[in-house]
Amino acid sequence: MVHLRFVLFLLGTSVTNLAEDTLVDGTYDYDLAVIGGGSGGLACAKEAVNQGARVAVLDYVTPSPQGTKWGLGGTCVNVGCIPKKLMHQAALLGEAIHEAVAYGWEVPSADQIKINWSALTESVQNHIKSVNWVTRVDLREKKIEYINGLGSFKDPHTLIATMKNGSKKELTAKNVVIAVGGRPHYPDIPGAKEYCISSDDIFSLSHPPGKTLVVGAGYIGLECAGFLNSLGYSATVLVRSVPLRGFDQQMATMITNEMEEKGVKFFNRCIPVSVEKLESGQLKARWLNTETKEQGEDVFDTVLLATGRYALTEQLNLAAAGVSVLSDSGKVVASTEQTNVPHIFAVGDVLEGRPELTPVAIHAGRLLARRMFAGGSQQMDYENVATTVFTPLEYGCVGLSEETATERYGADNLEVYHAFYKPTEFFIPQRNIRNCYLKAVALREAPQRVLGLHFVGPVAGEVIQGFAAAVKCGLTMEQLSNTVGIHPTVAEEFTRLNITKRSGKDPNPASCCS
């Protein structure tokens, strides 16, 4: 059969202007090609196969500037959520060992309790490798062709996979999903790429990080600084503007206060200037306070950059596909997941203005596949997506921050319920509770629909997950106050909220059972 695209070329007809219903069945090698083997891309590929589609997944990891590389599964599995949570758990276990003495456990003296970094990273990496293997087996069993090559467009329906050895594989697909995600941004300063690491490297670092400078105070920077400090490695954070930009700033302050009290140092309004490697092998970092114009410097064993991420779209040759709607950061701009080219879509972190969260990418990918191959109509709802920052004292939230709610509805139309509380597990030993705090942002008019819930405290992720479903269903303060809590838990504190900021009353807890 003469290839339809070749005929169109001879006739001078543009493929991008051709209506989809005129395409000949069987023209393409695949019904769907997914560029990117992360959570969103894999979820879309698997669902498409469930609906009878022929699917290929192209995935290739370009090593980080420090040479770190990993297997199939994307950021979450390899250098994101999973290893981060495991490191966080290791830090919590270290704290628990010290606290066990107050509960009667006989443990070695404090100076004998220390982390074995090599054993920790080996355990983490062994788990990741097992997930990589299971993922590959799953693709094979589902008859999804996995191509370990760097994908790019040759034309709107043709992809080229550049393999590790430089050879190229060409394939055609009726539909294409861009799910390449992003990688850490490196600031344009001397020594950044030469001597610094990022979250791509920290979870498999071959040596203990020692005294560490973390550049950036987003959730990645704070999570890394938090677990490093709790594992016994001195951590300093450079904060360019505000911590946890985009999150509720009162809660962000609670987080940084807690971290400071645990020993993490913060330099506010500071940006990095240079990183120099000394003869000793240590790194001299210099920074500038953008307000006072004062310069600071110190010597560290490790400098970890957490200054944001950029989308991996530049390597895709999107111009050849006709995809032209990109933001300044290189992300795909789309009202749903469909680009300006009807058969080309994007899911996950590569989309502009969408939550950069694994479950978001997974759900969006599945719904997209159902719309493409099963006649589905459900679109991804990006509102009221819950998330958690896994700092030593966790922060979980769903819905609007107090700042965003104020901008949308006006302060006079809001009621903010809040409280400090004392977790039962903090009674023995007597732990600091100054930053155990929660609030509900609601409309003032009855029945006071809840716009946002925010919680700082133990197991915040587990707490906020259940309430996220309630917020999604239109939770009101009346319903929340009529919910009977489980005692004694920290989650029940949401059902006990009765003091508003407007009232000016003391939000500190009276007792555990009142």
Q: What is the pLDDT of residue 180?
A: 97
Do both 327 and 282 map to the same domain?
no
Do both 314 and 172 map to the same domain?
yes
Instruction: Read off the pLDDT of each residue in 324-328 and give the average, rounded to a whole number.
Output: 88
Long-range contacts of residues 314-318, Cβ cutoff 8 Å, at least 24 apart: 315/150, 315/152, 316/35, 316/151, 316/152, 316/153, 316/178, 316/180, 317/152, 317/153, 317/154, 318/153
Q: What is the 3-state secondary structure (H, E, C) of 37-79?
A: CCHHHHHHHHHHHHCCCCEEEECCCCCCCCCCCCCCCHHHHHH
On whether residue 320 sits in a domain, the answer given is: yes
Strand partners, 215: 238, 305
DSSP characters over 118-184: HHHHHHHHHHHHHHHHHHHHHHHHTTPEEE-EEEEEEETTEEEEEETTS-EEEEEEEEEEE---EEE
Do both 320 and 179 map to the same domain?
yes
Strand partners, 302: 212
Do both 242 and 301 map to the same domain?
yes
Annotation says 487 is catalytic: yes
Length of the chain: 514
Strand partners, 183: 310
On whether residue 510 sits in a domain, the answer given is: no
Q: Count Cα atoms within 13 angstroms, Cβ side, for 158.
A: 13
Single out the residue in 254, 275, 307 at which a domain terminates.
Answer: 307
| 3 state SS of 493 | helix
Catalytic residue among 3, 98, 207, 487: 487
On whether residue 14 sits in a domain, the answer given is: no
Do both 41 and 173 map to the same domain?
yes
Cα–Cα dist 238/219, whole Å: 13
Q: What is the pLDDT of residue 503?
A: 97
- Structurally, the chain folds into a number of domains equal to 4
The answer to whether the beta carbons of residues 233 and 202 sit under 8 Å apart is: no
Do both 170 and 317 map to the same domain?
yes
Residue 267: burial class (beta carbons within 10 Å; 0-12, 13-18, 19+): middle
Do both 483 and 413 map to the same domain?
yes
For the chain, first and last CA: distance in Å?
A: 79
Instruction: Read off the pLDDT of each residue in 157-166 and give the average, rounded to a whole number.
Output: 96
pLDDT single digits (tens) 352-378: 999 999 999 999 999 999 999 999 999
Cα–Cα dist 220/213, whole Å: 13
Statement: residue 293 has pLDDT above 70: yes
Cβ atoms within 10 Å of 59's Cβ, excluding its own: 26
Run of H or E including 82: helix 81-99
Q: What is the pLDDT of residue 7?
A: 39
Statement: residue 137 has pLDDT above 70: yes
Statement: residue 512 has pLDDT above 90: no
On whether residue 158 sits in a domain, the answer given is: yes
Instruction: Read off the pLDDT of each residue in 172-183 and give the average, rounded to a whole number.
Output: 97
Run of H or E including 87: helix 81-99
Do both 179 and 327 map to the same domain?
yes
Single out the residue in 257, 291, 307 at which a domain terminates.
Answer: 307
Q: Look over the chain and give the mean of its residue pLDDT values, rounded to a whole number.
A: 93
On whether residue 508 sits in a domain, the answer given is: no
Mode of pairing for the β-strands spanning 55-58 and 145-147: parallel
Output the CA–CA distances (angstroms, integers) from residue 211 to 122, 292, 303, 308, in the order listed.
Answer: 21, 26, 9, 22
pLDDT single digits (tens) 384-423: 999 999 999 999 999 999 999 999 999 999 999 999 999 9
Range of the domain at 95: 74-122
Cα–Cα dist 162/25, whole Å: 27
Return the CATH number at 369. Answer: 3.50.50.60
Cα–Cα dist 38/15, whole Å: 29
Statement: residue 5 has pLDDT above 80: no
Cα–Cα dist 429/435, whole Å: 16
DSSP characters over 363-428: HHHHHHHHHHHS---PPP--SS--EEE-SSSEEEEEE--HHHHHHHH-GGGEEEEEEE---GGGTT
For residue 21, name the pLDDT band (cuts at 50, 70, 90): very low
Cα–Cα dist 22/30, whole Å: 17
